[in-house]
Amino acid sequence: MKGTLSGRKREAIAFYLFMLPWIVGIVFLYAVPLVASLVLSFTNWDLFNSPQWVGLRNYTNLLTGEGTSFWLALRNTAYYAVVLVPLNLALSVAFALLLNQPIILRRWFRTAFYLPSTIPVVAVVMLWSWLLAPSGVINSILKLVGIGGPAWLVDPAWVKNGLIIMGVWQLGGGVVLFLAALQSIPRHLYEATMLDGAGAWRQFRAITVPMLSPIILFNLVNGIIGALQVFTQVYVVTQGHNAGALMMVPFLYDNAFEFNKMGYASAIAVLFFVMIMLLTLIVLRWSRRWVYYEGEVT
Amino acid sequence: MVAAGAAASLGLGMTACGSDSAQQGPADKANLIMTIWGSDNDTKTYQQRADAYTATHPGVKVTVKNIPVENYDQQVDTMIAGGSSPDIIEVNGTDGPALASRNVLVDLGPKIQSSGLKPEDTVDAARVKGYSLKGKQFALPDRGGNLVFYYNKTMFDKAGVPLPKAGWTWDQFTEAAQKLTIVQGGKTVQYGVAIDDWPNAVQSVVRSFGGTLLNDSLDAPAVDSAAYRKGLQTYNDLATKLKVSPTLKDYADFGQNVNRDALFAQGKTAMIWAGLWDIPDFVKQGLSFGIVPPPSGAAGNPTMLAFGTGLAVGARSKNQDAAWEVVRYMFSPDGQRPIVTNQEDVPSAKALLSEWEKGLPSGVTYDELAKASDQVFPDQTPPQINQIEKQVQQDLYPFFTGSATVDQATSTAASHIKGILAGN
């Protein structure tokens, strides 16, 4: 047996070999840049000359400097996420429930609801800037019922709502996940509660929601992160001119790659990273109280 | 996105440590890289100019590298940070100062002096000054041109309004704009003029009222001055009060990418502020139009922001002397001539302007503009100009869309500019 490896060892080597591409990726594409950003955030760096250590100055400028846009970007981004994420979740569940019913043209509807999330963002923006134009289709409809619609994507006070509408329209991805989860709920659970006399609402509360809760959590966490990192649609809609839609990632991007303030931009990235991390931890901690994993109870 | 940004900054960080030793090659033997942005015609024209230099200096070869304009700044930054700086760099009024303030462009001042070149003899002094920062000449002007004012002849003739000419006043202009605005059934079918928040036009108009973004020493905002506010208010009144121009909300109804140029091309507005680069497009549309200096808020003030590009020498190039000689040749009228013969753009050399005018389409003359060459003014270009211009456009946006007064918007802008200049 000399010269050959034991099965266990061979397995371990295979494991590391298979993991290698991923490990290399995470170290060089994530871990090192992450640490580098942290270090750079305490410096002034213009990309060409060696970084100068400035201590906490980037952070104090960002948080309290004259005319800082950090708080505006944070408020805008928070508003966008706080409205969009719950709305998207509720509507995704609702549409999934409807599409799970034996309705006519069910396949057609399922496709139709998923389709918008396959369209590239730039095309979505083209479409919606036409629909949401001051005298566009949406406002014409509102006018029929006596409402004078706003200049959705122009007025700084309304542009975030316009972006939220675009975001809601693309909820198909979530619907598909919920639909799959709904179909995996065993029928006998519903039958059992029915025998006990539970109505539709009670069934929804006691069976559907708990059985969907892992998917709700998944969509919630991804939704929060996705909404906070919104970039492309903001850039295409406003070209950065509309302060009403100044969001965190475009703010970071401008400072880094247009204004060459790498240290300052790194400080934004670090603060933003910490915020997203904390938020995710809170959600995960909170989820223990309402997420139900089937495997945990036997 | 955040991770990607960090990754990019790190990648650049690692390469930024590369050597930039000042080992300089000879002036008469080098293979140079020149970065430009623009069309195939731009590439062809620059290459032709470079080859003309090579013809008399066979040891020096220039490769023109055309970089897509939307990535130009980032890519040039990456090349420099990566230790392979371009030898000759095309710059404009915003990216030039950003590069110069980071010490990656050669101060051409000493070279200009030792070679006995007098740039003002070739190009307007204001234009030369546009490429200097804190007393350092970081580039020489190359392509020229400036903001001008277009009018649609057919519309003027139809309305019986006399054609605009050099020196016309703001009152004459608004009167014409009112006569040229046609409203049918409550809907404006023809606008007298089409304005928006395009910073170059805003700056030119406000300047004609005596307002500037920054003070003369470029270390404090002047955007909240009475003159700036008056100019800005009068400009926007065209849309909101006199209703002779569409508002930003009206533009949103016209559809994505329909701007003032498109409205003029479609024959929906009689006048616009625009660049000379629109001429071929308007000719293609079969319009009968003319170009003149814009109306002025107060007589004697400048009205036309200088456009154009300059050529700089990379401070981390290994062939600075050779690159400087090429730039010096390209700056000369002979070196600029292909700009005219290829109809690429307006040359900055005064001596070539009459040749350039001959290339104008029939019916369009430069006569009125030639009378007003003293109305051209260079942009104010502190190193942070890129950030300031973007911030100001953002701050004025609520004013243009009607949710802030001129005082509110300009005060916000002033506070932001202070922060930016202070390095916040």
DSSP secondary structure string, B91-139?
E-TTHHHHHHTTT-B---HHHHHHHT--HHHHS-HHHHHTTEETTEE--
Residue B4 has pLDDT above 60, yes or no: no
Is residue A166 one of the residues assigned to a domain?
yes
3-state secondary structure of B156: helix
Q: So what's the pLDDT on residue B21? A: 45
Percent of chain B with pLDDT strictly greater than 90: 79
Residue A217 has pLDDT above 70, yes or no: yes
Report how far Cα B142 is from the mean position of its chain's Cα atoms.
12
Tokens 């475009």 sit at which residue?
A250
A65 contacts B424? CB cut-off 8 A:
yes
Is residue A28 one of the residues assigned to a domain?
no
What average pLDDT does chain B have?
91
Percent of chain B with pLDDT strictly greater than 70: 94
For B73, nearest residue in chain A (alpha carbons)? A258
Number of continuous H segments (helices) and E segments (strands) in chain B? 20, 14
- Chain A contact present for B417, CB below 8 A: yes
B98 contacts A67? CB cut-off 8 A:
no
- Chain A contact present for B89, CB below 8 A: no
A243 contacts B9? CB cut-off 8 A:
no
Residue A113 has pLDDT above 70, yes or no: yes
A253 contacts B415? CB cut-off 8 A:
no
Residue range B319-341: mean pLDDT, rounded: 96
Residue range A209-232: mean pLDDT, rounded: 94
Q: Specify the CATH superfamily of domain B23-145+307-369.
A: Periplasmic binding protein-like II (3.40.190.10)
Which 8-state DSSP code applies to residue B280? H
- Chain A contact present for B24, CB below 8 A: no
Residue B13 has pLDDT above 80, yes or no: no
Pair of tokens at residue A219:
């969509």
B253 contacts A133? CB cut-off 8 A:
yes
Is residue A125 one of the residues assigned to a domain?
yes
B45: closest CA of chain A, how far (Å): 28
Residue ranges, comma separated, of all CATH 3.40.190.10 domains in chain B are 23-145+307-369, 148-305+384-421
Express each pLDDT in A79-101 by its tens digit: 999 999 999 999 999 999 999 98
Is residue A92 one of the residues assigned to a domain?
yes
Confidence of residue B296 (pLDDT cuts 50, 70, 90): very high
Residues of A in contact with B77 (CB under 8 A): 47-48, 260
Confidence of residue B37 (pLDDT cuts 50, 70, 90): very high
B166: closest CA of chain A, how far (Å): 33
B73 contacts A253? CB cut-off 8 A:
no
Is residue A51 one of the residues assigned to a domain?
no
Q: So what's the pLDDT on residue A6? A: 82
B74 contacts A47? CB cut-off 8 A:
no
Express each pLDDT in A126-152 by its tens digit: 899 999 999 999 999 999 999 999 999
A-contacting residues of B 166-195, CB under 8 Å? Answer: none
C-alpha dihedral sign at B31, B33, B39, B45: negative
A66 contacts B419? CB cut-off 8 A:
yes
Pair of tokens at residue A237:
């809609």
- Chain A contact present for B220, CB below 8 A: no
Residue (of A207, A202, A208) closest to A98 by Cα position:
A208
Pairs of CB atoms within 8 A across A/B: 145
Residue B389 has pLDDT above 70, yes or no: yes
Residues of A in contact with B408 (CB under 8 A): none
CATH number at residue A282: 1.10.3720.10
Q: So what's the pLDDT on residue B220? A: 96
Residue A121 has pLDDT above 90, yes or no: no
A170: closest CA of chain B, how far (Å): 20
For A245, nearest residue in chain B (alpha carbons)? B394
Q: So what's the pLDDT on residue B5? A: 44
Rounded Cα–Cα distance for residues A94 and A78 (Å): 24
For B423, nearest residue in chain A (alpha carbons)? A61
- Chain A contact present for B409, CB below 8 A: no
B69: closest CA of chain A, how far (Å): 13
Residues near B178 by beta carbon (within 8 Å), at least 6 away in sequence = B192, B242, B244
Residue A11's Cβ-count burial label (10 Å; 0-12, 13-18, 19+) is exposed
Q: So what's the pLDDT on residue A296? A: 62
- Chain A contact present for B250, CB below 8 A: yes
Residue A202 has pLDDT above 70, yes or no: yes
Q: So what's the pLDDT on residue B9? A: 43
Q: So what's the pLDDT on residue A3? A: 58
Rounded Cα–Cα distance for residues B366 and B146 (Å): 12
B416 contacts A240? CB cut-off 8 A:
no
Residues of B in contact with A48 (CB under 8 A): 16, 77, 80-81, 102-104
Residue (of B69, B203, B80) closest to B130 by Cα position:
B203
Q: Name the phi and psi angles at A293, rounded to 5.
A: -100, 125
Is residue A108 one of the residues assigned to a domain?
yes
Residue (of B85, B89, B94, B100) closest to B24 by Cα position:
B85
Residue B316 has pLDDT above 50, yes or no: yes
Interface residue of B1, B202, B223 to substitute, partner A, most A CBs within 10 Å: B1
A254 contacts B7? CB cut-off 8 A:
no
Q: Residue A187 belongs to what domain range?
A: 69-296
B102 contacts A260? CB cut-off 8 A:
yes
Confidence of residue B359 (pLDDT cuts 50, 70, 90): confident
Residue (of B289, B294, B287) closest to B200 by Cα position:
B294
Q: So what's the pLDDT on residue B55? A: 96
Which member of B10, B256, B387 has the closest CB to residue A259?
Answer: B387
Q: So what's the pLDDT on residue B8? A: 43
Q: So what's the pLDDT on residue B256? A: 73
Which member of B9, B250, B419 has the closest CB to residue A65?
Answer: B419
Q: So what's the pLDDT on residue A297? A: 53
Q: So what's the pLDDT on residue A298? A: 45
Q: So what's the pLDDT on residue B416? A: 95
A136 contacts B103? CB cut-off 8 A:
no
Residue range B343-364: mean pLDDT, rounded: 90
Length of chain B: 424
Rounded Cα–Cα distance for residues A109 and A97 (Å): 12
CA distances from B308 to B131, B328, B345, B350 (A): 11, 17, 9, 14
Q: So what's the pLDDT on residue B255? A: 81
For B398, nearest residue in chain A (alpha carbons)? A156
Q: So what's the pLDDT on residue A286? A: 95
- pTM for this predicted structure: 0.87
Q: So what's the pLDDT on residue B11? A: 41
Is residue A21 one of the residues assigned to a domain?
no
A240 contacts B390? CB cut-off 8 A:
yes
Residue A2 has pLDDT above 90, yes or no: no
Pair of tokens at residue B369:
């503009």
Residue B16 has pLDDT above 80, yes or no: no
Buried/exposed A119-131: b ≥16 CB within 10 Å, e otherwise = eebeebbbebbeb
For the segment(s) B148-305+384-421, the CATH number from 3.20.20.150, 2.60.40.60, 3.40.190.10, 3.40.50.2300 is: 3.40.190.10
For B409, nearest residue in chain A (alpha carbons)? A243
For B74, nearest residue in chain A (alpha carbons)? A257
For A139, nearest residue in chain B (alpha carbons)? B253
* Number of domains, chain A: 1
For B419, nearest residue in chain A (alpha carbons)? A66
